[in-house]
Structure 1
């Protein structure tokens, strides 16, 4: 372990780190800043809720009263507006279910009326470090990848044979991750046979992706389908016909393109590089004048099936990789237009929509997620020298991800059986998912490397420690759902396990215990 990492960890372990949690995250203000938390149910940082002003001519100010469930005590403060952040009392409030009542008052303090109420859960702030892990991160990750390698469908792929996988109906996501996972295993094993057969599996599945890609002359030539209509076993027929059949979700081919690039860099086979460039040129051709893309389309015609727009943060990271590592200047304008769209949309309105292939389209703010926000934070950190304020804006996005999606300590309500610390995925799947923790670990690592704040490293370690503890002690399997009582034990996604293994290997690299995973 590098000496400065070791020093930071020892210092934090000795003294403990309790981060101040009194600064609100992008508080709303009518006519100036959107209120993003209309459907949010839990907060680490003090929220500000949209409550309409009292039109009464006698009202002068507002009284905020907070009541914690099961307690007689009341906490109050006054403000000139009914949508003030709860900062004045936040540090005094205990964690748990809380009810807010806002009343309008006359100049003498008499109550005019109750103008609003809101119930929410005040979540524990970070008070780590949590852990430690009883197995080194790299060792745990390699064992998890070996579990994947030994699965029946992987054994078929290693022999160059088709292999059935329940979630193979989402090929961009699940087959793309299989390529990435086997390339990573081949790089990190000392067993020559494993290296050879992991490589063979990666090549076989990558060739499946190339065969599945939409042919030339079609609206989305070269892109890998989101949905495989011939293997729609993971969802019922009505769901599939209504939401998936004949459709392409434009967030998803980015995963397969990234994996094909990994395989090109590992094998030197130019077919995979050419496939990535073909995909990126299709994205460039189909980019909207606004700078983004429809979220989901009918792939035969290119017609959008809803007004929702793709948040292209993942695509921006891939384009950045091509521009930086391959001097692919032809994609600079596309990237910059996509960045401009994010700046004028989610960075302004904070609508970080959860865009998942198995979740229906949603009204604004109904289904927020950390994924695009963390990806864009990573972009801002990588470009921190280009624009003043990028670091602070990236910090805000990481705080948003933490506020809404990380559970640091055991709660008492909805997630009482969750293994903590953990990370939730999205409002529509507000459950502890290993890949969500992995995704935020990557964000924390990049923040630590960019600005040197050791707290980000410790937060990454705390999430990783839960994954090590959650792994099956015999097989090494990384189960998708982090429940201590085995809830959803059999519902496991390969891509989630692989993403998690990569995050732990990356963390081990940062600590100097594993060779670099960077391309």
Structure 2
């Protein structure tokens, strides 16, 4: 509960002599004009019909820290409906004024209107709104108990008359039309828990569910959600030197991003009925869907509307779940990793096939294969998932995950070609090559090494050496890094950077003073920067990395993957400028976190990809201070 007493509190439950009572004890009762009682969230609310006058709150005498808290509803789309503003007095900056503009609540920061809370209802739903103005000049908005990002704004309603539902100075904007309930003002900055404790939790939960249901219905005749109108690009925060600051801490970004996945995710996802498997078990959305619309509803007609990429994307999920379990001690995350790995093992190729015990790189409409893979699988993605299995074995001690990783290593060794490679796509039963070239062999190198380390022998050393020899004398020299993504058609001119980044990491981890690996790593990074790096307009000096030449977009996951590697390269070279560049890019990716805790692919990307959401979290762990990492929890999970 709030530790400081409430400064003003109009519940609107009692109307007497055309006044509403102030329950704060300060006896600042309000005189009504044309307002009338309405059914509220708790008891009665107050309706402000079209043409009504403002409620004069008098001189509040307040500057930050301040908290404004109230319930509101409206049935009217408003472009400049003033909720809280200055009514009279000296012309004044009125920092802290609020207005409703479409489906957003905007704040006047004495210079500009900025959207703090996005996606409110204009369909008559009660929603709780709170604005917390902190002493440090930051403001946080809350919608139904959930925080938005922090923005810069003061609060200054001292020496002027404040008002509810009235035009600025009686002239500018329009009076708010709708209803308010339980309006409170605190002379302190309440924290998130204190906001939640103002009301019974079921009130917030009910409002969240009703609003989520309404958002899902906000689609056009073509079944598509207006994602552009609902994309939040927050004002940039900078230090005194002009460097980009994170929008919120890495810790908050990680925890809110994981909350999106772990806390009631099915209430956001819009097609729960499609998740039942052939045994009647409800699977998680990322088992069958790689991407959905930004409101959680699958695309109605997209060619990949129900396509997933288990081998690669599930490996990202498993590694992220394990990392979060270690970081936060959340056993749900470890259980998610276990469940997902068990699904992948159960849905692998038959053991008696040429490429047996291999996970599928594509599932389409709940069936293995399909889309661009056709009947094929990607051997490199099997190695990626095998490494995640081994991580899970180390986390749980469960032998089935070690055996699954070993089985993939065995198949890869049996199907390795004389030059140390494998086809990019191959029919796992007949060995027919579907697509020939891929540079992505570093994962097989790492898998062979790790299995040998577990077994304390050198069984896979010859296979490892053959593949490494090809990589050193091939892509590391020629820079022909291509053949990686499942949904991209073949092209000799295509170039990618994902496996190149992991090759750099391997070079750095195995460098000596005389093997030349550090020089190779530096050269590969220079190539990546030349081909894929962009300066990010508006977020300078942050830089971003485009996914590939055939999908030429800057994305958070790939920018942060590069930044994570760049931090390692900075440590290896002692290059402080390189370290600062990595940090700036990490700060940039925190702006991708949306108020509802989604981490978007990029600000100009219409799809929400689960892999891009968890990938940002995964690589942010490399930037969180070691001192903030929590010890592993005691393991208690289903087996």
Q: Could you tell me the TM-score, scaled by structure 2's length?
A: 0.53
Q: Is 1:146 matched with 2:273?
A: no
Indicate the residue corresponding to 1:454 in structure 2.
576
1:453–1:319 Cα change, 3 Å: farther
Q: CA separation in 1, counterparts of 2:557 and 2:541?
A: 14
Higher deviation after alignment, 253-262 or 209-218: 253-262
Q: CA separation in 2, counterparts of 1:145 and 1:429?
A: 27
Q: Is 1:206 matched with 2:341?
A: yes
Secondary structure at the aligned position of 1:205 is classed as helix
1:214–1:222 CA contact under 8 A, matched in 2: yes
Indicate the residue corresponding to 1:14 in structure 2.
none
Deviation at 1:328, TM superposition (A): 5.1
Q: CA separation in 2, counterparts of 1:271 and 1:441?
A: 34
Q: CA separation in 1, counterparts of 2:268 and 2:631?
A: 25
Deviation at 1:468, TM superposition (A): 0.9
Deviation at 1:321, TM superposition (A): 4.2
2:378–2:425 CA contact under 8 A, matched in 1: yes
Q: CA separation in 2, counterparts of 1:153 and 1:328?
A: 49
Deviation at 1:418, TM superposition (A): 11
Matches within 5 A, 1:273-292: 273-292=402-421
Deviation at 1:223, TM superposition (A): 1.1
Deviation at 1:455, TM superposition (A): 2.7
Q: CA separation in 2, counterparts of 1:480 and 1:333?
A: 40
Deviation at 1:488, TM superposition (A): 2.2
Secondary structure at the aligned position of 1:247 is classed as coil
Q: Is 1:184 matched with 2:301?
A: no
Unaligned runs of 5+ in 1: 1-127, 412-416
Secondary structure at the aligned position of 1:377 is classed as helix
- Indicate the structure whose relative CO is greater, using CA pairs within 8 Å and at least 6 residues apart: 1
Indicate the residue corresponding to 1:271 in structure 2.
400
Find 1:504's aligned residue among 603, 620, 636: 620
2:438–2:481 CA contact under 8 A, matched in 1: no
1:457–1:154 Cα change, 3 Å: farther
Q: CA separation in 2, counterparts of 1:161 and 1:203?
A: 15
1:324–1:494 Cα change, 3 Å: same
Q: Is 1:163 matched with 2:303?
A: no
Q: CA separation in 2, counterparts of 1:380 and 1:188?
A: 27
CA deviation digits over 1:291-324, x for unaligned, max 9? 1111111122112123324431233234444455
* Root-mean-square deviation over aligned CA pairs: 3.1
Deviation at 1:129, TM superposition (A): 8.3
- Of Structure 1 and Structure 2, the greater helix share is in 1
Find 2:499's aligned residue among 351, 372, 378: 372
Find 1:514's aligned residue among 629, 634, 637: 629
Indicate the residue corresponding to 2:588 in structure 1.
466
Find 2:511's aligned residue among 384, 389, 399: 384
Indicate the residue corresponding to 2:107 in structure 1.
none
Secondary structure at the aligned position of 2:328 is classed as coil
1:343–1:229 Cα change, 3 Å: same
Instruction: Flag the structure with larger Rg.
Output: 2
Find 1:393's aligned residue among 520, 524, 527: 520
Unaligned runs of 5+ in 2: 1-240, 291-306, 633-639
1:179–1:298 Cα change, 3 Å: same
Secondary structure at the aligned position of 2:608 is classed as coil
2:482–2:494 CA contact under 8 A, matched in 1: yes
- Of Structure 1 and Structure 2, the greater strand share is in 2
1:129–1:380 Cα change, 3 Å: farther
Indicate the residue corresponding to 2:597 in structure 1.
476
Secondary structure at the aligned position of 1:430 is classed as strand
CA deviation digits over 1:405-460, x for unaligned, max 9? 1212429xxxxx99953210000001011121122123112213333322332122
CA deviation digits over 1:149-172, x for unaligned, max 9? 232299999x97323442253111
Indicate the residue corresponding to 1:132 in structure 2.
245
Indicate the residue corresponding to 2:17 in structure 1.
none
Secondary structure at the aligned position of 1:143 is classed as helix
Q: CA separation in 1, counterparts of 2:511 and 2:268?
A: 41
Find 1:221's aligned residue among 350, 356, 377: 356
Indicate the residue corresponding to 2:532 in structure 1.
405
Secondary structure at the aligned position of 2:282 is classed as coil
Find 2:553's aligned residue among 431, 450, 453: 431
Deviation at 1:370, TM superposition (A): 1.5
Secondary structure at the aligned position of 2:545 is classed as strand
1:464–1:160 Cα change, 3 Å: farther
Secondary structure at the aligned position of 2:435 is classed as coil
Q: Is 1:333 matched with 2:450?
A: no
Deviation at 1:354, TM superposition (A): 4.5
Q: CA separation in 1, counterparts of 2:597 and 2:540?
A: 19
1:435–1:499 CA contact under 8 A, matched in 2: yes
